Amino acid sequence: MSYTPQMHQSLRKVESTRQARLHEAFPMMEPWDKRTILEKYHPDYKAESMREIRVGVSRGQRMPLELADVIEGASHLTSDTLDLAQVDYDTDVLVIGGGGAGSSAALLARENGAEAIIANKLRHGDANTIMAQGGIQAADKPGDSPAIHYLDVMGGGHFANHPDLVEVLVKDAPLVITWLEDLGCMFDKEPDGTLKTIHGGGTSRKRMHSARDYTGAEIMRTLRDEVRSYPHEITVLEFAPAIELIMDNKGQVAGAVLLNIETGEHLVVRANCTVLATGGGGRLHYQGFATTNHYGATGDGLVLAYRVGADLAFTDTMQYHPTGAAYPEQIVGLLVTEKARGLGAQVCNIDGDQFVYPRETRDVEASAIIRECVERGKGVATPSGRVGVWLDSPMIDIIHGSGTIAKALPAMVRQFGRFDIDIAKDPMLVYPTLHYQNGGISLRPDGSTGVPGLFAAGEISGGVHGRNRLMGNSLLEITVFGRRAGEAAALQSQEVQLGKLTLTHVDRWRQELDEVGIENPVNSPILLPDYRRELR
Amino acid sequence: MTEDLVSIFIMGKRHVVPSGLTIMSAMEHAGYRLIRGAGCRGGFCGACATVYRVPGDYRLQIGLACQTVIQPEMHLAQIPFYPGHRADYSLDDLQPTFEAVVTTYPELLRCLSCGTCTKACPQDIDVKQYMAEAMRGDIAAVADRSFDCIMCGLCVSRCPAEEVQSNIAILCRRLYGKYLAPGAEHLAKRVLEIEEGMFDDDLASMKSLGEEELRRMYDERDIEPE
Ligand SMILES: Cc1cc2nc3c(=O)[nH]c(=O)nc-3n(C[C@H](O)[C@H](O)[C@H](O)COP(=O)(O)OP(=O)(O)OC[C@H]3O[C@@H](n4cnc5c(N)ncnc54)[C@H](O)[C@@H]3O)c2cc1C
Ligand code: SF4
Ligand code: SF4
Ligand code: FES
């Protein structure tokens, strides 16, 4: 597979500038320039890619067209599809989505005396969490503090973040690192036990903790194994996505209808409290962008929560990761971890010149790459008609000593090695890719939403990251808020008295759609994208 | 991507698809809507274990469907689930010792050191070697060597001794992480400081700042050098 002759020509230029670039610090953009470049090149600012939704509590809110379509979708059910008196599972806490947030929630629910069910769309752990490579932030080094972390988060989020949520995020951070270590997570360490930490985009202190470049996988498989230690208290259901929340006649969320996705059977779960942790929506492919997200990231939880009246926040801001693979075609859109830039790899154009500081916040970095390719025509073309810029990975071994890439980025080495590209010797071609949902369900610091009986945690939520999340704050968020939501749900579940279960809200929703004249709505949540006869 | 077409056999049935696709996209191109056998689509989750054979070779090969490019006339089938055994244990009740590992997984000692697992691993992990290290009770070595395991179960499916190598490996990694890895003093200290409320005032005063003031602090903040 390796690179084409045309690409090799450009690569020679990258090699020829490398020595000089080792000593060249490209300046960070001034605040004013940042704003201009975002407005001009960031995909979120493309007016025609968004629209206002016409129904529900956050009516009038803007979001990508593809998300608006599923939010304004019709239920798979009506109130008389099922007999809700036939309860298949009865539990204290139902957790929907077993990624990092959901698994943390279930563990804390158990710790606080509740029985829990985790309902998964795919297998337990088939999630964005398992794909996270780079790291998790926590201010635990002497020169750092939660307050400095706070400032970084607020600045990264363009000061739109919810301060109470950010406070909790940064204060709980060292605590969750301790929790994860106690569960057996192997974070990278010096021989004396000091945690290895590096910079990430938008950090002012080196506070990115990692587990090689399998950080999310290490967290996910550890949490999953811990969940498996309590088979009597935590029931794990797989291939059983939630397709609708159930309410009771007192207006509380009272569980969910699951679909056995293999047999088509419906399952009724009655739960005193419900935690939504279904993650993001990259597989909705906003503006046709390729995505880093796992197969099941289709925004289901937002659809379900919105139908029972939960508020949404910041749904008009998505994160495009600056460095998605642009070549070879088989891995287009997959993530090249930001850790590569954290370790010193620079971004270069077709001439081997730097054009952006390598560690701007993600939105700015992505916009600069789009400008370089689209406006300045300095991108490198691939045989399939894509463009990209070089991420000069060989610099990492030059800076930190040979063998560093192999040790610090094994997943990346393997990913590209499968296509005969040795990233210790040659750079990778990259272009921005759809990565993360900055907004979502409005959350309170204890993980509750405005709707009685409904909690949320993780990428599904909105507020903590404001308009832009910094790398490493998401793995942090899912553990911090997953734990909080699990605990709060468990405690509340002891008090709740459920009334009669109903799905009448689904009928009301349908009526609302009709009233504003939404014809032929899609059936949502869509559960999985359909790639049949499509090359992606 | 070239428009050349190749034929492949999915569970014995012939399909003609464009060359250069991964096994996963080839299956989708052939009309399958995957439910099992696809998770992350990026080589991290182990959902897409696949067994295949190419013409002229009697040997079975293995790969991840999302990471393996199809070859002409390839015969393939997915193994999306393998009913491997996970012992019932809680980490808190175990010690980081050989005894703990072998009591939890007594079958460990049945390993024949045949090396089939190493050949099967799509992550190129020397599985046989970490099993040998487990049999020696070298938990740290198992933890290090097995680190890139994505728990796809391919080694398990091929093992003549019916080992569940990946579960033994995660047990060792967790034992290492919890009990054997050197502790981080700075972390323990910070947790104490937080519990004592040492940062509460700082955070409260920062929270009370207006956007303009916060923005100024942000723009002027010093950045720790590389
Ligand atoms: C490639 C990649 C790299 C990343 N790297 C980093 C990083 O280095 N640092 C960092 O901090 N963050 C990183 N992130 C972001 C971070 O990993 C995610 O935001 C975070 O893990 C989300 O966790 P979650 O538990 O909220 O959602 P997920 O982990 O996505 O879990 C959600 C689960 O819910 C399931 N689900 C969905 N719908 C339903 C339904 N209807 N019913 C039942 N279940 C359902 C999904 O299948 C999934 O299993 C990365 C993300 C990706 C994709
Ligand atoms: S395949 Fe089984 S018996 Fe053979 S070396 Fe691996 S674990 Fe041991
Ligand atoms: S060790 Fe076994 S389970 Fe782990 S990646 Fe290799 S083959 Fe898969
Ligand atoms: S789908 Fe996750 S490894 Fe292939």
Q: What is the pLDDT of residues A17-28, one digit of tens each?
A: 999 999 998 999
Domain limits of chain B? 5-78, 91-180
CA angle B75, B31, B72 (to 5 degrees): 30
Question: Closest Cα to residue B101, out of B32, B169, B4?
Answer: B169
Closest atom of ligand 4 to CA, residue B45: 2
Q: Calculate how far, in angstroms, residue B73's C-alpha sits from the geometric centre of ligand 1.
A: 36
Question: Closest Cα to residue A100, out of A275, A321, A273, A285?
Answer: A275
Determine the average pLDDT of the residues in A281-287.
Answer: 96
Determine the average pLDDT of the residues in A260-278.
Answer: 97
Determine the average pLDDT of the residues in A385-414.
Answer: 94
Question: Buried b / exposed e across B62-71, counting CB within 10 Å, b at 16+?
Answer: bbbbbbbbbb
Residue type, B32: Y
Residue A83: CB partners within 8 Å, gap ≥ 6?
none
* B88-91 long-range Cβ contacts below 8 angstroms, 24+ apart: B88/A229, B88/A231, B89/A229, B89/B171, B90/A229, B90/A230, B91/A183, B91/A184, B91/A226, B91/A229, B91/B174, B91/B175, B91/B178
What single string gives the DSSP state of each residue in A293-358? S-TT-S-HHHHHHHHTT--EE-TT-EEEEEEEE-SSGGGTT-B--THHHHTT-EEE-TTS-B-S-T
Question: Closest Cα to residue A415, out of A342, A536, A328?
Answer: A328
Q: At what angle do helices A362-374 and A31-41 cross, to 10 degrees?
A: 60
Percent of chain A with pLDDT over 90: 93
Please report, in angstroms and rounded to a whole number, the separation of the first and last CA atoms in chain A. 17
pLDDT for res B4: 86
What does the DSSP 8-state code read for residue B1? -
pLDDT tops 80 at residue B2: no
* Alpha-carbon gap, residue B168 to A118, rounded angstroms: 24
* Alpha-carbon gap, residue A417 to A224, rounded angstroms: 29
* Alpha-carbon gap, residue B102 to B80, rounded angstroms: 28
Give the closest of A177, A184, A228 to B175, CB-based.
A184
Min distance A498 CA to chain B CA atoms (Å): 33
pLDDT tops 60 at residue A534: no
**What is the layout of strands, in order, in the sheet containing A197-198?**
A136-137, A208-209, A197-198
* Alpha-carbon gap, residue B48 to A426, rounded angstroms: 29
* Alpha-carbon gap, residue B59 to B48, rounded angstroms: 20
Spelled out in words, what is the top-level CATH class assigned to the domain B91-180?
mainly alpha
Residue A525: CB partners within 8 Å, gap ≥ 6?
A70, A73, A241, A243, A298, A299, A300, A301, A303, A304
CA angle A175, B140, A182 (to 5 degrees): 15
Give the three-state DSSP class for A130.
Answer: helix
- The CATH architecture of the domain made up of B5-78 is Roll (3.10)
Tally Cβ neighbours within 10 Å of residue A119. Answer: 29
pLDDT tops 70 at residue A211: yes
Min distance A182 CA to chain B CA atoms (Å): 5
- The CATH architecture of the domain made up of A5-41+320-434 is Alpha-Beta Complex (3.90)
Which residue in B5, B27, B35, B45 has the most chain A C-beta atoms within 10 A of its own C-beta, making it the best mutation to test that interface? B45
Q: What is the CA radius of gyration of chain B?
A: 25
- Ligand 1, atom 53, lies closest to the CA of A293
Residue type, A22: L
pTM of the model: 0.96
Determine the average pLDDT of the residues in A219-232.
Answer: 98
Q: Calculate how far, in angstroms, residue A126's C-alpha sits from the geometric centre of ligand 1.
A: 9
pLDDT for res A536: 43
CB contact under 8 A, A184 and B173: yes
Residue B150: CB partners within 8 Å, gap ≥ 6?
A217, B43, B44, B45, B46, B122, B123
Residue type, A227: V
Extended beta strands in B80-184, E state: none
Kindly report the three-state secondary structure assignment for every residue of A157-203: CCCCCCHHHHHHHHHHHHHHHHHHHHCCCCCCECCCCCECEECCCCC
Determine the average pLDDT of the residues in A143-172.
Answer: 97
pLDDT for res B1: 44
What sign does the dihedral B42-B46-B50-B51 (CA atoms) show? positive
* Alpha-carbon gap, residue A104 to A443, rounded angstroms: 17
* Alpha-carbon gap, residue A438 to B103, rounded angstroms: 46
Q: At what angle do helices A146-156 and A163-182 cross, to 10 degrees?
A: 120
Question: Closest Cα to residue A296, out of A522, A526, A38?
Answer: A526
Q: Which two tokens stand for residue B46?
A: 């182990």
Q: Calculate how far, in angstroms, residue B136's C-alpha sits from the geometric centre of ligand 2.
A: 15
CB contact under 8 A, B206 and A151: yes
Which tens digits make up the pLDDT trace of A83-142?
999 999 999 999 999 999 999 999 999 999 999 999 999 999 999 999 998 899 999 999
Cβ pair B82, B124 in contact under 8 A: no
Residue B61: exposure state from Cβ atoms within 10 A (0-12, 13-18, ≥19): middle
In terms of phi and psi (left: phi > 0; alpha: psi -120 to 50; beta: otherwise), the region of A317 is: beta
Question: Closest Cα to residue B132, out of B163, B175, B178, B88?
Answer: B163
Which tens digits make up the pLDDT trace of A305-358?
999 999 999 999 999 999 999 999 889 999 999 889 989 999 999 999 999 999
Q: State whether residue A23 sits within 8 Å of chain B by CB.
A: no
Q: State whether residue A30 sits within 8 Å of chain B by CB.
A: no
Q: Write down the mean pLDDT value for chain A.
A: 96
Closest atom of ligand 4 to CA, residue A130: 2
Q: Write down the mean pLDDT value for chain B.
A: 95
pLDDT for res A535: 46
CB pairs under 8 A between A and B: 226
Min distance B104 CA to chain A CA atoms (Å): 13
Give the three-state DSSP class for B87.
Answer: coil
pLDDT tops 70 at residue B3: no
Q: How many CA atoms lie within 13 A of A528 on its CB side?
A: 24
* ipTM, two decimals: 0.97
Cβ pair B219, A31 in contact under 8 A: yes
Determine the average pLDDT of the residues in B72-87.
Answer: 94
Determine the average pLDDT of the residues in B4-15.
Answer: 95
Question: Closest Cα to residue A410, out of B146, B41, B55, B178?
Answer: B146
Domain limits of chain A? 5-41+320-434
pLDDT for res A418: 87
Q: What is the distance of C-alpha A335 from the center of its chain?
A: 12
In this predicted model, which residue has the larger pLDDT, A454 or A330?
Answer: A454
* Phi, psi values for residue A494, rounded to 5°: -75, -20
Residue type, A26: F
Please report, in angstroms and rounded to a whole number, the separation of the first and last CA atoms in chain B. 40
Residue with tokens 């080694």: B155
pLDDT for res A1: 56
Q: Which two tokens stand for residue A429?
A: 């071609």
pLDDT for res A361: 85
Known catalytic residues of A are 321, 341
pLDDT tops 80 at residue A252: yes
Chain A residues with beta carbon closer than 8 angstroms to that of B40: 126-127, 130-131, 294-295
Cβ pair A349, A29 in contact under 8 A: no
Helix (H) or strand (E) holding A276: strand A266-276
Which tens digits make up the pLDDT trace of A348-369?
999 999 999 998 988 999 999 9
Residue A403: exposure state from Cβ atoms within 10 A (0-12, 13-18, ≥19): exposed
* Alpha-carbon gap, residue A118 to A106, rounded angstroms: 7
